[in-house]
Amino acid sequence: MPPPLSPKTPPAKKPKLLTDKEAESLFTRCEDAIRSVASELEEATELAKTAGLSVKSDLTHYTENSAAAAAAATTAGHSNTDHIVVWTGDRVTDRIAELKRNMLTRIRAQQPESKGEDRWDKPRIPGERRRRIVREKDAPGAPPEPPPTGYVAYVAQITCKIRHDRPKERHDQARVMQEISKMWRNQLTDSERKFYSDFADEAREEYQKQHLQYRATGKYSPSETCEKLQDVGPWVHKRPEFRNALEREISTYDTVVFPLRPPELDEAYKRREEESKRKRKLKVKGLLNPDGAEKKNEENKKD
């Protein structure tokens, strides 16, 4: 029986040549599409300006150098929250932010991730720890995050006062927190607690706007509501007339950065640390009683 015949592959079709009229019609349609896209881009640019955002800077990502644009866009790729859309309620602003996020996501997906030194919050120093930057709020140029609640703002302010008033005593924050909690519940009035709650709400609302602005442009406007004392201290009202008595007092301090302990207590602290390390070693070896006392040696038991 003869083998079955293999099917013949059909010959490749030759491309159809366009006539002069068809080519001219095709060019006309392409020009119309380009004009339509250009007009939409101009309209988007104007809408972005009214919303305080930028579209023109993102268009260069596609026309010039996508790799360099991805590295320079917003926070240089320091983000793991591109999938989050923060809605402001304004249809135009939200739509522009969504389109912008999609554009940057597509660009970053086409480029390998940069893992250079700019991905870390601190330079490489022997013996120093550093965190990898993975969020916009962890980037060096991001707006500082204010306290989440009024209680947290109060704790920072009253802790600053306690440490300033007791420079010669060892500070135990865990024990101090117990007293601060009692003060917040029993000594502060409802109006004073509301003062801190309103302060935190205003600061958080302004921070959300700064964060949106930073994600869109890489920069943000300075806060008009609050500030950190000496850039490292507790948060207080920026305008002096809005501050309460505690804020006015801590604002007059020469410094809000205090040492961990007075220098004269360093030796006692080192002794406690060495004793703690020794007991941990004894516990691993099984030479420590449950009450923390050291077990006696067999020679001592015989005596």
What residue segments make up the domains of the chain, in order of their start?
24-118, 150-251, 263-294
Inform me whether the pLDDT recorded for 58 exceeds 70: no
> Hey, how many other C-beta atoms are within 10 angstroms of the C-beta on 152?
15
Residue 108: pLDDT band (50, 70, 90) is low
Q: Which two tokens stand for residue 58?
A: 């993102």
* 255 contact partners, CB below 8 Å, separation of at least 6: 230
pLDDT of residue 256: 92
pLDDT band at 122 (very low <50, low <70, confident <90, very high): confident
pLDDT at residue 191, rounded to an integer: 95
The per-residue b/e assignment along 179-200, b for 16 or more CB within 10 angstroms, e otherwise, is: ebeeebeeebeeebeebbeebb
C-alpha to C-alpha distance for 207 and 190, rounded to whole angstroms:
26
> Residue 288 has what DSSP assignment?
B
Cα(28)–Cα(34) distance, rounded to whole angstroms?
Answer: 10
What's the confidence (pLDDT) of residue 297? 63
Three-state DSSP at 235 gives: strand
What φ, ψ does residue 236 adopt, rounded to 5°?
Answer: -140, 170
- pTM, two decimals, is 0.52
Count of CB atoms within 10 A of residue 68's CB?
12
Task: Give tens-digit pLDDT for 142-199.
Answer: 899 999 999 999 999 999 999 999 988 888 899 999 999 999 999 999 999 999 999 9
Distance in angstroms (rounded) separating the CA atoms of residues 69 and 95:
22
- For Cα atoms 243, 249, 253, give the angle at the middle one, nearest 5 degrees: 125
DSSP string, 29-64: HHHHHHHHHHHHHHHHHHHHHHTT--SHHHHHHHHT
Q: And the tokens for 190?
A: 């409802």
Q: What is the DSSP string of 80-125?
A: S-TT-----S-HHHHHHHHHHHHHHHHHHHHSPPP-SGGGBSS---
Encoded tokens for 141: 């140029």
The structure tokens listed for 266 are 């360093």
Q: 116: which 2 tokens?
A: 């250079």
Distance, CA of 244 to CA of 298 (rounded, Å): 66
Pair of tokens at residue 267: 């030796």
Cα(222)–Cα(238) distance, integer angstroms: 11
Distance CA 171, CA 273 (A): 16
Average pLDDT over residues 30-49: 68
* pLDDT at residue 69 tops 60: no
User: What are the phi and psi torsion angles at 279 (to 5°)?
Assistant: -70, -35
